[in-house]
């Protein structure tokens, strides 16, 4: 058992921390206010190799390990959770399924541009009537001999309209339930594929969520990803990876809000002393730190299992549950400790509290995480 970071991981942490402080922190408030996608910083992250971290160099990846990748998401999320989820969705939900299930031709075609960050990737599973109950897919893909014809819509799609490559789930055989779902690679610009409504969100406002609309969308035959009828597996295993990233995002938000609060408490005076001198508050900070650190251990443990190729579905669910609930708990306290100043936009904890909430919802709600964990207990 070794709790020390490797030299690579130390350097990744340092590099992302420097990048986040210089490039991301100054624009975080603006992105939130304007709900604008940070195109320029994402392009820079691509040049540095962050948009293709845990993938081999032969496809244009950076050849990093999972813990290093997770640390990158965590460090970015400390200052801006939108950046965290942009990196995470792209890596885990688009690059990963193509790398894992794609044919050699598909990998050669799509990965170099995705992993170098030249193109952004997205993932489409959720529908208006198929949220947690993902098997209720209504989007259909029909085999038209020389192409697939897709009809339907997807909602709340991170990067929708901005991404250029999408991994999309659609029913190829309704009668078979989840075994009738297949995955497809759909490109921006394919006939019949368009972006619908852009959502006005509570948090992570720099990450765009939009509806995707498929109206007689023509997708080439060779763009089926994985085997016919195995789309549900593609989606679920991708989400296993994605949960690690969301946990990292949540952890970063929690740590960022915690650090802000420490600095504020050392500065803010009431009753003639700074806030850190009030034991009732200091003890709560001790609780917060303990929850952050224990969540981090769960997360790194889950990543370590994935890195070693061991089963990690349950561990990833535990990590996401712990990290996201910690994020909500810590950011709520952080706002509380800032008092009235915490409720206004002068201090970033207000944004962090709004950003934190989604981590308990997307890529599987906390309730779904508990289904996974309890299912394992009573199997």
Partner 1 sequence: MKIIVCVKQVPDTNEVKIDPVKGTLIREGVPSILNHDDANALEEALKIKDENPDTHITVITMGPPQAKEMLQECIAMGADDAVLLSDRALGGSDTWATSNALAAGIRKLGEYDIIFTGRQAIDGDTAQVGPQLAEKLKLPQVTYVREFAMDEGMITVKRALENGYEVLKLKTPCVLTAIKELNCPRYMSVRGIYKAAKFDIKVWNAADIGVDLAKVGLDASPTNVYKSFTPAKKGKGVIVEGDTAKEIADGFISDLKKKHII
Partner 2 sequence: MAIQVIKEKCKGCTLCVKACPFNAIEMIDRLAVINEKCTVCNQCIPACKFDAIIKTEETKKGPVDLSAYKDVWVFTEQREGKLMNVALELLGEGHRISREIGSDTKVCAVLVGGNVDHLIDELYAYGADLVYVASDPLLERYTTDGYAKVITDSIKEYKPEIVLFGATHIGRDLAPRIAARLDTGLTADCTRLDVNTGNYIDYLDQYTTMNTKDMDRNDGNKNLKQTRPAFGGNLMATIVCPTHRPQMSTVRPGVMDKLEKMQGRKGARVDLKPDLKQDDFFVEVVEVVKAAKQMVSLTEAQIVCSGGRGLGDASGFELIKKLASAVGGVVGASRAAVDSGWIDHCHQVGQTGTTVKPKIYFACGISGAIQHLAGMQTSDIIVAINKNPEAPIFEVADYGLVGDLFKIIPEIITQWDKE
DSSP letters, 212-238, are EEEEEEEEEGGGEESSTT-HHHHHHHH
Cα–Cα distance, 369 to 105 (Å, whole number): 35
Inter-residue contact 272 to 130 (CB < 8 Å)? no
Which of the choices partner 2, partner 1, none does residue 267 contact, using the CB cut-off of 5 to 8 A by kind?
partner 2
Among 227, 293, 346, 367, indicate the residue that binds partner 2 (CB under 8 A): 346
- Catalog residues that contact partner 1 under the rule CB under 8 A: 6-8, 11-12, 14-15, 18-19, 47-50, 53, 57, 62-64, 68
d(CA 17, CA 91): 19
Q: Which residues pair with 119 in a beta bridge?
A: none
Neighbouring residues of 283: CB distance < 8 A, sequence distance ≥ 6 = none
Report the residue number, 132 or 267, with the smaller CB distance to partner 2.
267
Indicate the residue among 14 and 39 with the shorter CB distance to partner 1.
Answer: 14
Whether 363 is catalytic: yes
Partner whose binding site includes residue 244, from partner 2, partner 1, none (CB under 5 to 8 Å by kind):
none
Which residues are registered as beta bridge partners of 214? 152, 193
CB–CB of 189/147 below 8 Å?
no
**Chain centre to alpha carbon of residue 285:** 27
Considering beta carbons, is residue 129 or 274 the nearer one to partner 1?
A: 274
Which one of the spans 144-152, 225-233, 306-314, 344-352 is the region binding partner 2 (CB under 8 A)? 344-352
- Determine which residue in the list 29, 173, 187, 276 makes contact with partner 2, applying CB under 8 A: 29
Q: Which is nearer to partner 2, 320 or 351 (CB)?
A: 351
Residue 268 as a binder of partner 2 (CB under 8 A): the answer is: yes
What's the closest the beta carbon of residue 10 comes to partner 1, in angstroms?
8
Compute the C-alpha angle 102/37/225, nearest 5°.
10
Which residues are catalytic, by number?
Answer: 363
Which positions lie near partner 2, rule CB under 8 A?
Answer: 29, 267-268, 341, 345-347
């Amino acid at each position: 058992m070794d709790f020390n970071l490797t030299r690579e991981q130390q350097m990744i942490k340092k590099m992302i921390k420097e990048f986040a402080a210089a490039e991301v922190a100054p624009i975080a408030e603006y992105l939130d206010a304007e709900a604008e996608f940070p195109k320029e910083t994402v392009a820079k992250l691509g040049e540095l190799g962050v948009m293709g971290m845990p993938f081999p160099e032969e496809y244009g990846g950076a050849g990093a390990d999972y813990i290093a990748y997770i640390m990158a998401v965590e460090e970015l999320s400390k200052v801006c959770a939108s950046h965290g989820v942009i990196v995470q969705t792209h890596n885990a939900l688009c690059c990963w399924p193509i790398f894992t299930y794609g044919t050699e031709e598909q990998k050669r075609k799509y990965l170099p541009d995705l992993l170098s960050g030249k193109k952004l990737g997205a993932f489409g599973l959720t529908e208006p009537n198929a949220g947690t109950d993902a098997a209720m897919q209504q989007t259909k893909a029909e085999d038209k001999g020389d192409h697939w014809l897709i009809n339907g819509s997807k909602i709340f799609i991170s990067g929708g309209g901005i991404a250029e490559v999408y991994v999309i789930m659609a029913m190829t055989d309704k009668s078979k339930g989840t075994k009738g779902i297949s995955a497809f690679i759909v490109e921006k610009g394919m006939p019949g594929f368009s972006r619908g409504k852009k959502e006005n969100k509570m948090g992570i406002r720099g990450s765009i969520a939009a509806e995707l609309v498929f109206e007689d969308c023509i997708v080439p035959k060779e763009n089926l990803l994985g085997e016919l009828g195995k789309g549900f597996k593609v989606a679920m295993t991708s989400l296993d990876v994605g949960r690690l990233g969301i946990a990292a995002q949540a952890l970063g938000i929690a740590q960022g809000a915690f650090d802000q609060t420490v600095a504020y408490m050392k500065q803010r005076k009431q009753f003639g002393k700074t806030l850190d001198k009030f034991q009732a508050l200091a003890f709560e900070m001790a609780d917060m730190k303990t929850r952050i650190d224990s969540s981090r251990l769960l997360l790194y443990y889950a990543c370590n299992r994935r890195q070693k190729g061991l089963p990690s579905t349950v561990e990833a669910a535990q990590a996401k549950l712990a990290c996201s609930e910690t994020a909500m708990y810590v950011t709520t306290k952080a706002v509380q400790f800032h008092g009235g100043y915490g409720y206004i936009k002068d201090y970033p904890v207000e944004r962090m509290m709004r950003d934190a909430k989604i981590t308990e919802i997307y890529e599987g709600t906390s309730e779904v995480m508990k289904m996974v964990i309890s299912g394992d207990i009573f199997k």
